[in-house]
Structure 1
Amino acid sequence: MEFKKKYLYPIGLLLAMFIIWLTIGSESSDENVIYTEPIVGYFEVTITSSGELQAQNSTSISAPENMRQFRINNVPILNLVPEGTVVEKGEFVAELDRSSLSNTLQDAQLSLEEEETQLEQAKLDSTLTLSAARNNIVDLEYSAEQAKLVVEQSQYESPAVQRQAQIEYEQSERRLQQARENYQTQVKQAEANVRGRETEVQEERNDVQRIQEIMNQFTIYAPENGMVIYKRNRDGSKVKVGSSISAWDPTVAELPDFSIMESLTYINEVDIQKVRTGQRVDLGLDAMPEKQLTGQVTSVANIGEQRPNSNSKVFQVTIRVNEADSTLRPSMTTSNTIHISSVDSALYVPLETIHAYNDMDVVFKREGQSTVMQQIVMGIMNENDVVIHEGVDLSDQLYLSLPVDTTGIERRYLPSEILLEYETPEEIAQQE
């Protein structure tokens, strides 16, 4: 009897522990599965991004635009007022390096001196040439007068002598007439030569004057009243002392109009298809968290670009700020929430409940002690949830994760006529 009691109690204890393990183990395995239920309510799709404020309209402060005429492509900045300086019209803004233009001016001045020398030489040559021509005409006039006297005196001579005298007189007259005609031609030639030289001189003078005018413009003054904001280069950096200003893009800084501001942001290539002009935007300011602004998408770039320190393509989006606020300043960082679409009363579930099966979207439901795979039709989705059009009811319990064992579970499919209602024109075209 004592022997039976000695072994009966341990055996009973082991049986009790086994029963408890079965009960607790089965319950714990069931408790490890997390379920969720659909929600009905307001559903919204938004895209968030950071941006930078800028003025929609601004007045450019630029270097001279005609630098390229003198083969000047880039000009360094020697001096520049601090960014944010409030200036009045006509006040100093920047100073550009004149060294390259100074060399051009020296060359132009030397060319001007050479042309002026050649002009003086042309005038002297013309004076000497015409003087010699006039002296020749005077000599021919004397010769013609002498020949005429010989003709008069030969009237008492033989006819042959008279004829010879007459011929010499006529020849002297022709030489005189020819000399006079040649003189007129020489005068015109001299005048044309001098005018040509004067034109060359004037062109050189104009070049020197234009260069001097451009050099004066290398000291840049504010065209209007406003706050100086440096121009931003293509790589995102801003103009500063030592930067070079291109002759093709001579803008040094801008004077923004603070009455209309906009936020410049970049949206990745995955989300850009959802963004459209006219969409509502909520804006926040990192510098002033308490200030909330509203805006509207005004432009969406058609071509993506590679931003610095980024491996993905992004598209530029411009958002106009609705409010006019005197505290807004260019380059302030904004947080932008673009409202893409919304549904007032939608049934939606977490994205974790959605799974792919044979090119279908499915969820796993809990029905009593069983699990069912249900085909669904999804609608719009945001970062966390997705709208369900067909396949899920408000009372369903959905698995948040894929069940451990999906073999042998019931699979339920939606009728083809229901699926047809939700097919897009693109899907129909692909089927055809």
Structure 2
Amino acid sequence: MNDERTEQLHSLTIERTQESHGSGGPGWVALLVAIVLAGGGGAGAAWYFSPKAEPAPAVTAERPDRSVERVETAPEVAPAASTRPAPSSGLVASGYVVARRQATVSAEITGRIRDVLIEEGAVVEEGEVLAYLDDDRARIDLDLFEAQQAAAAERAQSFAAQVTEARTQLTRTEQLISSGYATDSRRTAEQAQLDSLQAQLSAARADLAAARVRVRSQRDYVDRHVVRAPFGGVVIAKNAQVGEILSPVSAGGGFTRTGIATLVDMDSLELEVDVNEGQIQRVRAGQRVEAILDAYPDWRIPAHVEAIIPTADRARATIRVRVALGERDDRVLPDMAARVTFLEQD
């Protein structure tokens, strides 16, 4: 019995050498890893040293294409940079655009503004109406003076007729005296009457002349209620509104204005620049100048020196120079900043 049990137990035991060969132990695993590494390294070496590595030139072929595009676009930028004019050499000074003809337009009398016909930026002609003052009272006085003128004319006409009649009567009396039908006393009385009428006629005519002067003066006063442009130009400021009091002798206030508008003659625009005293010997009348406005740095305006103001600024040690522009343009506006270059003589 014991022998049978021992044989049965022995049959149930498993030998370790068979287990390691059957289950793929550590030796087998190491072998597989070596094979995989060897295969990967060989494949990597084959890929690295393979002559089929030609995609790299394809990448380098794209880079020349991009460089060609850059070369082609470069000429498109170059002309834009070349359009800017080269700076001129010479003495440089700065200043502003000023107008030789500029005025604050006002009336010559004090009155209430009834209507304003202009706005900023309006272009007006010489003599054009800018505003009206209230002239009702002035027109009433004008009607009165015209009536007085008419009455004076009637009186003068009446005395003229009486003088004509008295002269005719005196002539008839002289004829009667020569025939012996009238006396000298009658002629003396009629002569005195004629002289009196002539004096009254002269006074009436003087009154008529005075009435005419009053009417003419009052018409001029009525016309002064109309504010007109003294010259053609552009309105750059509207200084008064309807209902305000306009007074040319007033300093201005809440409802009192000294002018209707500021008018500038654009044809009289020029440049005024300040030149250092130490450089004024390089400037002469008639010298060619190149002007550049700060608002348009690429626009070079031909100009010339109009005059050198014969006085110096003690505080800044500068001398003012007037520069006349060689061309007119709507882009040039008063008070624009400018820089001028006094071109040296060739």
TM-score, with structure 2 as normaliser: 0.49
Mark the structure with the bigger radius of gyration. Answer: 2
TM-score, with structure 1 as normaliser: 0.41
- Looking at secondary structure, tell me which structure has more strand per residue: 1
